Each structure stands twice: as C-alpha cells, then as structure tokens.
C-alpha cells in the first residue's frame, strides 16, 4: 500500500496548483464582477470573459491541457493538442490534478477540463467515427467550440433514465428528434456548437436498448433554447443550464453515436470517470472553503477573542479536516479501482463517492459560510456559489437516492451470493 502520488501526478498537481494560485485566483473576483455588472445592466453576460482564452493559451503552452484524457487515448491526440506528451493519465493520477482545479470555478475552463465537455470528448474519443472526431472532437480538444449534453427532461423523473420521453427516431438515413430537455449545461455559451442528445428510438426494444445518442448541431432547424435556468439564483456563466426544445429536428444517420439503441452502453462508460472528476473538484472546493474558514476564524474578533477560540468553532474546523481527508481517500480509491478495470467493487465505489463527497463538501462550505456571517452568503467570497454548485451535484448524474440503491444492491448481493 502506497499513498504517495506518482512523480508525474505530483508534478502536474504542483504545476496546476501553482497556476491556479498565481494566474487564476487573482482574476476570479474581477471576472465574477464583470459578469455581474453585465447581467445587472442587461449586457451580454454569456460570452466568456476574454481572460479565459488568454489563460487557456498559457495553460496549453505549459502542457496543462486536456489532462482529463484517459490513458487509453495514448498516441491518438498527442502534444499538438496540448496534452502532456500525448499520454493520458490514469484515473488516480488525474484525480489529484482535478482536485487542484476544483479550487476555482474558472480553473476547469482554463485547463479545458470542464464538464460536460470532458465527458463529451471522452465519448467522441471512444465511440466517435473518424468523421465525427474530425468535425467535433478536434475543435473541442482545441477549445475552439463547446458542447452540451441533453439528457434530463422536465416532464419526467429523470432519476430513472428509462423514463426519458424525448424521441430520436431513425427514418431512412435520418434521425428525427423531438422533445424537450433541460439542465443542458453549457448551452449559455455562444461557442457551444453541438449537443449530445439522448432520446427514445425504439420503445419496444429491451429496456436498455431503447435509446439512442446522437450529435445535434446547435444551429439545426427546430432546435431552440427556450430559456436559461438558474440554480438558487445563479446563472453559472459562461456555461449556464438551458432548457432546449427539439421540434422535428433532422440530422443524418451518421450523427448517431455507436449505433441506434446503444445510448445506455455509452452513458455507462461515461459516468465512472466523470463522477471521479466531479468529486475531486468538490474536494478541492471544500479545501478552499476550509482555508477561507480558518483565515476568517483567525482574523476576525468577537467578544474579545478570535472567532477560532469561540464555542465549537475549533471542533467544526477539526470535523471539516476529517471529512475532507476521508472523502479524498474514498475518491482516490474509487479512481484506483476504475484503473484496475470495471468490477462490482468499482461500480459501488463510484456511487459511494457520488453520495459521500457532495454532502461532505456542503457541510464544510456551510460551516465556512457561517463563520463568514453575511459575507458568506454574498458573492464577496466564492462560498455561496460553491455551496450551490455542490448542492447541484447531489442531483446531477443521479440523485443520492439512486446511488444509495446501487450500493445497497451490490452490498446485499455480496452477502446473499
């Protein structure tokens, strides 16, 4: 057993950390204020801040680019796409890098490692045809365009993916798409040019073969972004979460991913690493919240003492330290299990972190908010937005309840086998 980072992960983590601390955190507040100012004045608050492109160029030049690409891509998308030597990281190695990116809402964008683009790129890498790769994957790897993932629907409980009612029917050499999706993240960004759409193609097929995944250009006829949703008041620019209607949208059959009826097959493979990424970023966020909490607790005074010396504040700081450390290990272990190949244990582990980590992060961030008083609820600190992001994670990619059920099923299976 060895808990030390590999030299490569240690090096990348250190470099990403330094980049975040030196280049990103200092511009965070200005970027946030710029968006706020534009939003409040009815301006364009969706086009990404120019600072992002500038920082992207710098990150790419330093080889801190597309680090999420899995080991399996080796040789396919080498250095000219900015990846580190053309060889992907293992899940466990990337996890530590992702933690370093999680500290700032801007960082994943800067390193071209933000959801849902990462997941979409992985899907294209793994299942895309050469034509699909050339058209969509390569510009995504260069951050020239952005993408969205259209799965959740407003009219049904999407926690059960088989509830999905929007349709993607094959008609000759076309796919005809109808229905309404929401929580399509990334849609706010005008650079978002392609949607990975999942819909019902054959209601009579086997439960997990009824759905198809298909690439839909944003400018296809019949696609309409109805509105941008907020999460507890936040628009989450520059990505944003859109509600999108599809009205008799027609795309060529060649836009189908992997093949009609194979959407679940793709969705499964997409989710393991994606959840590791989300969770490690949430751990980075929690670490930052703890740092802010300690800084506030030691710099502000009430009743003649630093806040840190009042009531249960030290105990809460200790509990946060415990909670973060145990969650980080759980995620690293899940990543390591994924690296060993898919197994019931790995499958359970991914659901375990999905339940554990967002709630842990919420607790830590909430504690930090409380120590900041009203300031913690405002946008003068990144805590309020961090809390909302972590809260959303308890729903995105399957609510806690669904994951608990997966874990229990595996656990009961072990004992009854």
> Who's near 120: CB < 8 A, 6+ residues apart?
140, 147, 148, 149, 194, 196
CB of 22 to a second copy, least distance (A): 19
Ordered alpha helix ranges (H), 133-196: 138-141
- Name which of 91 and 147 has its Cβ closer to a second copy: 91
Cα dihedral 400, 354, 398, 281, rounded to 10, equals 130
Q: How far is the CB of 181 from a second copy (least distance, A)?
A: 11
Our CB check for a second copy shows the closer of 180 and 409 to be: 409
DSSP string computed for 96-140: HHHHHHTT-SSHHHHTT--TTHHHHHHHHHHH--HHHIIIIIHHH
Length of the chain: 417
d(CA 85, CA 110): 19
Structure tokens at 125: 């890498």
Segment (H or E) for 174:
strand 174-185
Closest to a second copy by CB, 169 or 321: 321
As a whole number of Å, the CA-based R_g of the chain is 21
Closer by beta carbon to a second copy, 52 or else 228:
228
Shortest distance, position 326 Cβ to a second copy, whole Å: 4
**Considering the complex, what minimum distance in angstroms separates the CB of residue 79 from a second copy?**
25
Nearer to a second copy, 259 or 311 (CB): 311
Q: Which residue, 144 or 411, has its beta carbon nearer to a second copy? A: 411
- Cβ(211)–Cβ(181) below 8 Å: no
Cβ count within 10 A of residue 200: 20
In angstroms, what is the minimal distance from the CB of 287 to a second copy?
A: 11
Q: How far is the CB of 207 from a second copy (least distance, A)?
A: 11
Q: What is the DSSP letter of 74?
A: T
256 three-class SS: strand
In this structure, what token pair is assigned to residue 264?
């679940």
* Nearest distance, CB of residue 336 and a second copy, angstroms: 5
Whose CA is closest to 197, among 173, 226, 176? 176
253 vs 406 by CB, closer to a second copy: 406
Integer Cα distance of 282 and 293 in angstroms: 16
At closest approach, how far in Å is the CB of 139 from a second copy?
Answer: 29
Is 59 or 229 the residue whose CB approaches a second copy more closely?
Answer: 229
Instruction: Give residues with Cβ within 8 angstroms of 317, minimum separation 6.
Output: 290, 293, 294, 297, 308, 367
For 249, the token pair is 């949208």
Q: How far is the CB of 89 from a second copy (least distance, A)?
A: 12
By beta-carbon proximity to a second copy, the closer residue of 143 and 353 is: 353
Q: How far apart are CA 149 and CA 227, in angstroms?
A: 16
Which of 201, 194, 185, 239 is closest to 217 using CA atoms? 194
Q: Which is nearer to a second copy, 89 or 143 (CB)?
A: 89
Token pair for 113: 């490692």
Task: Report the nearest approach of a second copy to the CB of residue 299 (Å).
Answer: 9
Dist. CA 247–CA 211, nearest whole Å? 18
Give the three-class secondary structure for 76. coil
**Smallest separation, CB 16 to a second copy (Å):** 17
Taking residue 160's Cβ as centre, other Cβ atoms within 10 Å add up to 10
Which residue's CB is nearer to a second copy, number 214 or number 385? 385
């Amino acid at each position: 057993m060895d808990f030390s980072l590999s030299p490569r992960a240690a090096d990348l983590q250190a470099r990403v950390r330094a980049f975040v601390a030196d280049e990103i955190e200092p511009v965070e507040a200005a970027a946030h204020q710029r968006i706020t100012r534009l939003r409040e004045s009815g301006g364009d608050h969706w086009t990404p801040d120019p600072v992002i492109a500038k920082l992207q160029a710098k990150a790419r030049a330093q080889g801190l680019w597309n680090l999420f690409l899995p080991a399996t891509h080796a040789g396919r998308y080498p250095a000219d796409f900015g990846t580190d030597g053309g060889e992907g990281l293992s899940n466990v190695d990337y996890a530590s890098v992702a933690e370093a990116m999680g500290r700032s809402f801007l960082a994943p964008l800067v390193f071209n490692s933000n959801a849902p683009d990462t997941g979409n790129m992985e899907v294209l890498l793994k299942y895309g045809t050469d034509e699909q790769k050339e058209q969509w994957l390569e510009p995504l790897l260069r951050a020239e365009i952005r993408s969205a993932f259209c799965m959740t629907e407003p009219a049904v409980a999407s926690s059960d993916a088989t509830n999905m009612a929007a349709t993607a029917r094959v008609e000759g050499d076309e796919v005809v798409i109808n229905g309404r999706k929401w929580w399509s993240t990334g849609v706010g960004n005008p650079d978002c040019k392609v949607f990975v759409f999942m819909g019902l193609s054959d209601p009579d097929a086997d439960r997990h073969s009824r759905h198809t995944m298909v690439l839909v250009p944003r400018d296809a006829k019949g696609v309409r972004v109805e509105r941008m949703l907020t999460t507890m008041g936040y628009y989450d620019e520059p990505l944003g979460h859109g509600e999108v209607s599809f009205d008799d949208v027609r795309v060529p059959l060649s836009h189908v991913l992997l093949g009609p009826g194979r959407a679940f097959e793709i969705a499964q493979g997409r989710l393991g690493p994606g959840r590791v990424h989300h969770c490690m970023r949430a751990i980075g966020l929690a670490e930052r919240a703890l740092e802010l909490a300690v800084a506030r607790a030691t710099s502000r005074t009430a009743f003649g003492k630093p806040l840190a010396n009042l009531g249960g504040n030290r105990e809460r700081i200790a509990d946060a330290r415990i909670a973060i450390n145990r969650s980080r290990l759980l995620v690293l272990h899940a990543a390591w299990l994924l690296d060993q190949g898919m197994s019931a244990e790995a499958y359970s582990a991914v659901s375990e972190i999905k339940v554990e980590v967002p709630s842990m992060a919420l607790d830590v961030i909430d504690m930090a908010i409380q120590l900041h008083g009203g300031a913690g609820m405002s946008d003068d600190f990144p805590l309020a937005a961090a809390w909302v992001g972590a809260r959303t994670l308890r729903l995105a990619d399957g609510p806690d309840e669904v994951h608990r059920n997966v874990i229990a099923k595996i656990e009961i299976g072990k004992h009854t086998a």
